[in-house]
Structure 1
Amino acid sequence: MVTMSPTTPHTAKLVVLDMAGTTVADDGLVERAFTAASSLLGVEPGTPESEKMLAYVRATMGESKISVFRHLFGGDEDKARRANAEFERAYGQLVGEGHCAPVDGAREAIGRMRDAGRTVVLTTGFARVTQDAILDALGWRDLVELTLCPADTGPAGRGRPYPDMVLAALLRTGAADDVREIAVAGDTAYDMRSGIRAGAGAVAGVLTGAHGEDELRGAGATHVLGSVAGLPELLDELDVREGT
């Protein structure tokens, strides 16, 4: 089912998709990896401190993980980097053990969009090493034209909710002449804010991940879909409105 807010019709030439929770099933891996990382730094699992940290992790799903750790450890850069490294190691281990699968219909949706002449880019808040582990586990290395992580956007390495990865996708692919020709899809409020800040013509929230419809709408989603499997149809409908 597609629920929509009024939006300006457009032709989506570039589609920027989130990974975990949007095209890749999360299945609790982020929380499991976070618990392993925080435990290494002395935060006992199940304690009030640990539960408070997990609540923040859930609320900020989609944000660059190093930014999350900087907040949790009060700006202690050394501790944040150690925690982030352990998080990435733990997440990569879980992926390597087979705890990684695509969202139902995601691969097919990407194929349909590419067949329609759209350029598709996959983005993540994880580090490159973790993103590559996921791509290898799924056999997705050659599935899309480009994959991006926060470090790919420049020295600052800003992830969501900044627009950097969306705009980097545009600059690197040259797939669109206007930011309104970009469609962004993700499962978190941070994905939505990133797309809105980039000026994307369509910013679609999906209900297969961290945040629900109210949170997605509140962050600016122009459309809400049950899953990314419905995105090709939505973009085709918007093309018809545009008269293409």
Structure 2
Amino acid sequence: MHGLFALDIAGTTVDEGNIVYDVLRRAVTEAGATIDESAFADWTGVEKQWAIRNLLRLGGADHDDARVAKVFASFTAMLQRAYRDTPPRPVAGVETWMREARSAGAAVVLTTGFARPVADALLEGLGWRVEAGDADATLDGLICATEVCAGRPAPYLIQHAMELAGVEDVAQVVAAGDTAADVLAARHAGVRAVGVLSGAGSREQLEAAGADVVVDSVIDLSADIATAAIR
């Protein structure tokens, strides 16, 4: 059955120990923002420049375009150093699961709030190759939030993944992620929404966002798109 798994990267398919959020917190704090944990959690899973702008605003720091660009550049450099020092690794079992999903006829496309240079470097470090329809590749596609008009919780990352995969029916799409923003994006796109507990979000947060199902890991889903999640 032709279908699509649209999967988040950090915390869903890649175990990076929540480094991205530690670095994001550090970047906005060093820029003068004071953020409590509950407010910070609202900005996980979204496009990172958008997160920085809002965290600076909420934290009482300057958040004009020039300031946001400067903090984003600092965040990106710190994140790349952190990933070099502590290389991310695949979520346990996910590479086998993705092969099985693709063998069953589904496309596997990663969607992310990372900018393209960070995402490309991360996948290169994992040895994951992206090539739609190539059975020897790891994935069929990678879409970054900077490549659509708005990142999560808007539906455009998922819709672009559908376009890339040639999937028109939302009933044949499962979107999975570890944050409320991932779940909300899936709901807004009208696809099956799966929350995973391998990253930043709690079961309570994912269920409150409207997840159809919450699982410990994406590999707990059936690789058959027809039975991967229950609405």
If the length of structure 2 is used for normalisation, what is the TM-score? 0.86
Take 2:170 and 2:215, find their aligned partners in 1: how far apart are those partners? 22
Which is worse superposed, 65-74 or 18-27?
A: 65-74
How many residue pairs get aligned? The number is 218
Take 1:196 and 1:41, find their aligned partners in 2: how far apart are those partners? 34
Take 1:56 and 1:136, find their aligned partners in 2: how far apart are those partners? 33
2:160 matches 1:160: no
Take 2:174 and 2:183, find their aligned partners in 1: how far apart are those partners? 11
Aligned partner (choices 180, 184, 187) of residue 178 of structure 2: 187
- Where has structure 1 moved over 6 Å in runs of 4 or more? none
Shift of 1:172: 2.0
Which runs of no fewer than 5 residues in structure 1 stay unpaired? Answer: 1-10, 44-48
Match of 2:163 in 1: 171
Take 2:125 and 2:153, find their aligned partners in 1: how far apart are those partners? 27
Match of 2:78 in 1: 90
Match of 2:222 in 1: 232
Shift of 1:222: 0.6
Q: Which amino acid aligns with 1:56?
A: A
2:127 matches 1:136: no
Take 1:62 and 1:42, find their aligned partners in 2: how far apart are those partners? 22
Distance 1:237 1:167, change over 3 A: closer
RMSD: 2.1
2:115 matches 1:127: yes
Show CA shifts across 1:115-153 (max 9, x none).
111001001111111111110111112311110101222
Q: Which amino acid aligns with 1:164?
A: Y
Aligned partner (choices 2, 16, 21) of residue 31 of structure 1: 21
If the length of structure 1 is used for normalisation, what is the TM-score? 0.82
Shift of 1:86: 1.2
Which runs of no fewer than 5 residues in structure 2 stay unpaired? Answer: 58-62, 131-137
SS of alignment partner, residue 221 of structure 2? helix
Identity level (%):
32
Show CA shifts across 1:40-81 (max 9, x none).
5356xxxxx2x52x5533332111111111112224221112
2:202 matches 1:212: yes
Take 1:113 and 1:122, find their aligned partners in 2: how far apart are those partners? 13
By relative contact order (CA 8 Å, sep 6+), the higher-ranking structure is 1
SS of alignment partner, residue 177 of structure 1? coil
Shift of 1:173: 2.1
Contact 1:207 1:227 in 2 (8 A): yes
Q: Which amino acid aligns with 1:184?
A: A
